[in-house]
Amino acid sequence: MTIVDSLERIASFRVRILLLGVGLFCILFPTQFSELIPLIVGLSMTAAGAFGVVVSRVEKNYRHPGTSTMGESL
């Protein structure tokens, strides 16, 4: 298994949305007891979700040059 194969799993649509959603929720609604831990978790999950979006777009253009992210020919 290569790094690209591992990144493809991160880049799946549901995982990206889940990471972005949970990360943003942790940033926007931290607990009153300890705000630092949810903020760190939220930032890391949001970064992982955004990284998955970038990887999936780059990977699609790398495998199928000349097509947009929706698959239609340019």
Summarize pLDDT for 54-65 with one digit per residue, the tens.
777 776 666 655
With contact defined as beta carbons under 8 Å apart, do 10 and 50 qualify? Answer: no
Residues 6+ apart with CB under 8 A from 34: none
Closest to 30 (Cα-Cα) out of 21, 40, 17:
40
Banded pLDDT at 3 (limits 50, 70, 90): low
Summarize pLDDT for 16-68 with one digit per residue, the tens.
777 777 777 777 776 654 667 777 777 777 777 777 777 777 766 666 556 55
- Burial of 23 by CB count in 10 Å (0-12 exposed, 13-18 middle, 19+ buried)? buried
* pTM exceeding 0.85: no
